[in-house]
Each structure stands twice: as structure tokens, then as C-alpha cells.
């Protein structure tokens, strides 16, 4: 009824694509053999490193997040190796399954679906590994299924306290360029991310950042699948080695524009924007949840992502609300992922190209949908959200 007009995608990836990125991609196919495309590709490298907070290496792959999960593992994990998965939702478990597919043994510390990694348990598990079997610790900055944000710097501190020298591998696919992340400062050895979330570019290219310690481990692996091998990609004296074939031409132009936008705003300002918008979202949710079935998945604010939020209603109501918002108002909310009953859950993506009026728009849509569907909820959520943004905007 009210859906015609600009539609809005509030799912946790792919995220909203800026007009600037779309326009940068709207062009004829470029020459891939020589010229501008090569220069633009090379220009991405320093900017990608700075987004991840590393001075080390980055390899670009034509792949989504699942692809770079496997790319990263393939360089350091072989059959018979053991990895420790720090599970705070579906996604780190999925990364572990990828390791299993490569013949690794997976040990899992499961922290449930609403809590961050418990650092004391990580330290204890590593201390107990007196034979040094655990070769890598797999963790996520943000688990997109639960909205849990993990303390990655703390994970490294726990590893150090246990005196364990496993590699620390971190999945930042959900939240690079949204939630604060500092690969080198926090002691992460390998980071993975993909183009379609905080990096505001269509799905299809992914990245693996790795330091010299990780590359030394790469040197001990006898067989690395040719396509995933990161070495030829980072020392690419021939352009082809970046991609092992045809370059992802339009993604390169799109990403160039997105990285320019990130540089113009500045990473710290971007983190602050996401944090402020998340506070407005949480304020609205506090009011809705004060009466009726709504619950935010992560109670502890310190363990909440600023890029994605997972919410629960009663069975069937999550699906009904999503359908209402899309059909009646042109706003698409994210499905509940990996939770039961799935029809109770929904998620909000607020990552990348998102500002105050976009957030107020989807919050207002949800507020209206709760009313229209007669789902009991506390009244005044929009007032609470606008108060937060008004206060923060005063600086
Ligand atoms: C989206 C996401 C993935 C999977 O990425 P795809 O591009 O869908 O394969 C993995 N991990 C996290 C944390 C994600 O948010």
C-alpha cells in the first residue's frame, strides 16, 4: 500500500550500495591486459590494509565470504591439523566446518547464541593443550546470526597468558568498516572479509590479510590449492597473479569508489557513526521490549555489534513483521538465521552506507508494523531513538 517509492534493504548483507559506487561501476568493460585497470587494482592494496589496520599483506580473491574462509584456511591448515573454534553463533561454526572439509580436526568452545567469547575459557583450553595440537584459533569479530561482538584483543591476551603460539584468525566479514578493528594492534595473524557488507560493494570479491607469522606457517604446508594460494597474489609482478584469470573488472571500480568514501569520512568517524546509530536502534528496542514479546538477542551492550542486530518476537511474528514491512512499506528486514523457531527471529542490518534518516526510517517502519499487526509493544520508541540522535548530534 505504501511500498512504492525508494525501497530499502535493511538486511545484514548485501548492504545498501551508495550511488557513487553504482555509478563507478556503470561503464563499458575495460581492457584487462594493460592500462588503467591495473593501476586501479594496485591502488586498492594500501587502502585495504589501512581499513583492516595492518601494515602486512592482503590478497584479493574473486569469492564471497565462504570463499575467503577456505582461502585463508587453505594456506595454513592441512589434513590432520587441529583448529579451535570460538562459537558465538552460526558463522564461526560454519568456518570450522570449512576446516573440517580440509581434513582438520575441529574443537569447539560454544558460548551459546547470546554471549561473547568467555576469555577465561579460551585461556584454559589453550593451557590444557600441552602438546600444542591447536594450530589456529578461529573467531569472528561479529557473528551475523546473533549480533554478538567479540573482544578480539582480549582473545589474543588470553592466548598470550596461556603461552600458546597458535595463529589467531578473525572473520570480519560482517563488520569491517563498521565496528572498530585493528588487526596489527590486536595481534591478529589472519583476517578475512568480503566486499558486500561494511565495504559497500556488491558481493563477489573477498580479502585475506595475513602477517609474516602466518606466511611462515604457509611455508610449512606442502600442498596449497593453486587458486587459494596467497603467495602469488601478494607478490604479483604479473597482473594475472592477482586473479588467476579474468579480473573482477567492475568490482574493482566499485571498491575503489567505496574505499575513497571510507577515506574521506575516516575510519574513526565511521565507527562513531555506526556506534551512534546503534544506540538509537537499541533505545527504540528498549521501549518496544518494555511491554510485549520483543527481545534483543544480546543483553550486554558491550557484546553487541554496531552493524547488525538480532531480535526475537513470538513464533510467527518475526516472519509476519518482515512480510508487512516489505509489502506495505518497501523495507526489507533480515531473516532469523540458525535459530529456532526461525519464524520468531528477524535481524536488522545497519552496516556501511547508512545514516540517521535511514535508521529512523526503518525503525519507524517497524514501529508502524508492530501496531498494524497488533503485536504488543511498548509505545514511544521513535521518541527514544530521536532523543538519542538529537543528543549525540550536539557533540
Ligand atoms: C556474511 C558473512 C559470512 C558469509 O559471507 P558470504 O559472502 O555470504 O559467503 C561469513 N561470516 C560472517 C561473519 C558474515 O557476516
- Measure 192 CA to ligand 1 centroid, in angstroms: 10
3 is a domain residue: no
Last residue of a domain, one of 241, 263, 285: 263
**Ligand 1 atom closest to the CA of 140, numbered from 1:** 13
- 169 and 297 in a single domain? The answer is no
- 241 and 126 in a single domain? The answer is yes
Domain that holds residue 360: 8-15+266-393
What distance in Å separates the CA atoms of residue 169 and residue 152, rounded to the nearest whole number? Answer: 10
- Measure 27 CA to ligand 1 centroid, in angstroms: 28
- 271 and 348 in a single domain? The answer is yes
310 is a domain residue: yes
Residue nearest to atom 6 of ligand 1 (CA): 65
1 is a domain residue: no
Cβ atoms within 10 Å, residue 134: 21
| pLDDT confidence of residue 31 | 94
- Measure 197 CA to ligand 1 centroid, in angstroms: 9
**Ligand 1 atom closest to the CA of 175, numbered from 1:** 15
On whether the pTM is more than 0.85, the answer is: yes
Q: How many domains does the chain have?
A: 2
| pLDDT confidence of residue 292 | 97
373 is a domain residue: yes
Record the cell numbers describing residue 25, joined without a space.
561501476
- 258 and 272 in a single domain? The answer is no
Residue nearest to atom 4 of ligand 1 (CA): 65
Residue with cell 590478497: 59
Q: Which CATH number do you get for residue 305?
A: 3.90.1150.10
- 68 and 210 in a single domain? The answer is yes
- 244 and 311 in a single domain? The answer is no
Record the cell numbers describing residue 257, joined without a space.
569508489
2 is a domain residue: no
What distance in Å separates the CA atoms of residue 211 and residue 65, rounded to the nearest whole number? Answer: 20
Last residue of a domain, one of 219, 243, 263: 263
Last residue of a domain, one of 263, 287, 306: 263
- 237 and 329 in a single domain? The answer is no
368 is a domain residue: yes
| pLDDT confidence of residue 123 | 98
Q: Which CATH number do you get for residue 30?
A: 3.40.640.10
- 220 and 298 in a single domain? The answer is no
- 45 and 108 in a single domain? The answer is yes
- 326 and 284 in a single domain? The answer is yes
Residue 133, classified by CB atoms within 10 Å of its CB into exposed (0-12), middle (13-18) or buried (19+), is: middle
- 237 and 296 in a single domain? The answer is no
- 257 and 299 in a single domain? The answer is no
326 is a domain residue: yes
| pLDDT confidence of residue 220 | 96
Stretches where the chain sits below pLDDT 50 are none
| Sign of the C-alpha dihedral computed for residues 237, 243, 247 and 253 taken in this order | negative
Task: Using most ligand atoms within 8 A of CB, pick from 99, 174, 176, 179 the residue to mutate for ligand 1.
Answer: 174
Residues with CB under 6 A from ligand 1: 13, 64-66, 91, 140, 143-144, 171, 173-174, 194, 203
Amino acid at each position: 500500500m505504501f511500498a512504492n517509492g525508494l525501497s530499502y534493504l535493511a538486511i545484514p548483507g548485501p548492504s545498501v550500495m551508495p550511488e557513487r559506487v553504482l555509478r563507478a561501476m556503470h561503464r563499458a568493460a575495460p581492457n584487462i591486459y594493460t592500462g588503467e585497470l591495473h593501476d586501479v587494482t594496485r591502488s586498492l592494496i594500501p587502502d585495504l590494509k589501512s581499513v583492516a589496520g595492518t601494515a602486512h599483506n592482503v590478497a584479493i580473491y574473486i569469492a564471497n565470504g565462504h570463499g575467503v574462509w577456505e582461502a585463508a584456511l587453505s594456506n595454513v591448515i592441512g589434513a590432520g591439523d587441529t583448529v579451535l573454534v570460538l562459537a558465538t553463533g552460526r558463522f564461526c561454526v560454519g568456518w570450522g566446518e570449512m576446516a573440517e572439509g580440509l581434513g582438520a580436526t575441529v574443537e569447539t568452545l560454544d558460548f551459546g547464541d547470546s554471549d561473547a567469547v568467555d576469555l577465561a575459557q579460551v585461556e584454559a583450553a589453550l593451557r590444557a593443550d600441552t602438546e600444542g595440537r591447536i594450530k589456529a584459533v578461529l573467531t569472528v569479530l561479529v557473528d551475523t546470526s546473533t549480533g554478538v561482538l567479540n573482544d578480539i584483543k582480549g582473545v589474543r591476551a588470553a592466548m598470550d597468558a596461556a603461552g600458546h603460539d597458535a595463529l589467531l584468525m578473525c572473520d570480519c566479514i560482517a563488520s569491517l568498516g563498521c565496528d572498530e578493528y585493528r588487526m596489527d594492534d590486536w595481534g591478529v595473524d589472519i583476517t578475512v572479509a568480503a566486499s558486500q557488507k561494511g565495504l559497500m560493494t556488491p558481493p563477489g570479491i573477498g580479502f585475506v590479510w595475513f602477517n609474516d607469522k602466518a606466511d611462515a606457517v604457509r611455508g610449512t604446508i606442502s600442498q596449497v590449492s593453486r587458486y587459494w594460494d596467497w603467495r602469488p597474489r601478494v607478490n604479483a609482478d604479473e597482473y594475472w597473479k592477482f586473479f588467476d584469470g579474468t579480473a573482477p573488472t567492475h568490482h574493482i571500480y566499485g571498491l575503489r569508489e567505496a574505499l575513497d568514501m571510507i577515506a574521506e569520512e575516516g575510519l574513526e568517524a565511521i565507527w562513531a557513526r555506526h556506534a551512534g546509530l546503534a544506540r538509537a536502534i537499541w533505545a527504540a528496542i528498549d521501549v518496544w521490549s518494555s511491554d510485549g514479546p520483543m527481545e534483543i538477542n544480546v543483553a550486554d551492550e558491550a557484546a553487541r555489534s554496531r552493524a547488525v542486530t538480532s531480535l526475537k518476537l513470538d513464533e510467527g511474528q518475526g516472519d509476519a513483521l518482515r512480510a508487512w514491512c516489505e509489502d506495505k512499506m518497501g523495507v526489507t528486514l533480515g531473516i532469523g538465521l540458525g535459530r529456532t523457531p526461525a519464524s520468531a527471529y528477524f535481524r536488522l542490518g545497519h552496516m556501511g552506507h547508512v545514516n540517521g534518516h535511514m535508521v529512523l526510517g526503518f525503525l519507524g517502519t517497524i514501529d508502524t508494523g508492530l501496531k498494524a499487526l497488533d503485536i504488543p509493544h511498548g509505545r514511544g520508541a521513535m521518541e527514544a531513538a530521536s532523543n538519542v540522535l538529537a543528543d549525540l548530534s550536539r557533540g
